[in-house]
Amino acid sequence: SQQGEEDPQALSIQEGENATMNCSYKTSINNLQWYRQNSGRGLVHLILIRSNEREKHSGRLRVTLDTSKKSSSLLITASRAADTASYFCAKQGAQKLVFGQGTRLTINP
Amino acid sequence: NAGVTQTPKFQVLKTGQSMTLQCAQDMNHEYMSWYRQDPGMGLRLIHYSVGAGITDQGEVPNGYNVSRSTTEDFPLRLLSAAPSQTSVYFCASSLLQTGRDTIYFGEGSWLTVV
């Protein structure tokens, strides 16, 4: 079963705006990862955040993790057309890595 | 350094046919896995391997076989293709145990079973 959901399922914003995507999960995790998938391509790793971390940054990306609420968010600042893609969170718990259903982000010029 | 290479990119099969999706990585990763991705769903784990000679089932293993005779290769076999196996398949590898490190994905194999 899919552990956790992503919200929203789809997001459309204007270029230059910030985009926020959320990921929730149900059981405890060791870490959580965010991936990007361009249409027709494989997944590309963005950020890994461990359960004892609260925030990580990578360029225009900021990921937060709230273990008390069992949720994470991915913020993309100053969005660009090239950010148009699907974004997935993946939760690593006791055993395997479980992917969410993804958020489809569209950046309008 | 090619990373994770999957072949073929596209394949159409008739119901009942068998085929093998090839996956190779040149990063000397111990962990390799196969996922399927269906519309509106995330990736679901089919099979995985923690090293040469060791494989295990994932979330949706029925109808698929794997083997890991070398560190580099991890082929996925469809024994008797069914329309329900129409999907996009991704092979992935990582240095450490899956989820504890960055996972590198292949470009995907689009499979249609008619």
pLDDT tens-digit series, residues A86-107 = 999 998 765 577 888 899 999 9
Q: Within 10 Å of residue B103's Cβ, how many Cβ atoms?
A: 29
Per-residue pLDDT of A28-71, as tens digits, reads 888 899 999 999 888 999 999 999 999 999 999 999 999 999 99
Q: Does A99 touch chain B (CB under 8 A)?
A: yes
Report the C-alpha gap between B16 and B81 in whole angstroms.
5
Determine the average pLDDT of the residues in B37-60: 90
Answer whether B35 sits within 8 Å of A41, measured CB to CB: no
Answer whether A99 sits within 8 Å of B35, measured CB to CB: yes
Determine the average pLDDT of the residues in B40-60: 90
Whether the pLDDT of residue B100 is over 80: the answer is: no
Determine the average pLDDT of the residues in B99-113: 88
Report the C-alpha gap between A41 and A96 in whole angstroms.
23
Closest-approach residue (CA) in chain A for B88: A40
Cis-peptide into B83, omega within 30 deg = no
Whether the pLDDT of residue B98 is over 70: the answer is: no
Q: Within 10 Å of residue B56's Cβ, how many Cβ atoms?
A: 14
Whether the pLDDT of residue B7 is over 60: the answer is: yes
The pLDDT assigned to B42 comes to: 81
How confident is residue A2, by pLDDT bands cut at 50, 70 and 90?
very low
The pLDDT assigned to A4 comes to: 57
How confident is residue A26, by pLDDT bands cut at 50, 70 and 90?
confident
Q: Within 10 Å of residue B12's Cβ, how many Cβ atoms?
A: 12
C-beta of residue A91 within 8 angstroms of C-beta of residue A25? yes
Q: How many CB pairs under 8 A join A and B?
A: 60
Q: Does B31 touch chain A (CB under 8 A)?
A: no
| Dihedral (CA of A61, B31, B29, B72) sign | negative
C-alpha distances (whole Å) from B64 to each of A97, A105, B59, B70 are: 19, 33, 12, 19
Q: Residue B4: is it exposed, middle or buried by C-beta count within 10 angstroms (0-12/13-18/19+)?
A: buried
Distance from CA of B33 to the nearest CA of A (A): 11
Whether the pLDDT of residue B97 is over 70: the answer is: no
CA atoms within 13 A on the CB side of A30: 12
Q: Within 10 Å of residue A23's Cβ, how many Cβ atoms?
A: 26
Closest-approach residue (CA) in chain B for A4: B42
Neighboring chain B residues of A94 at a CB cutoff of 8 Å: none
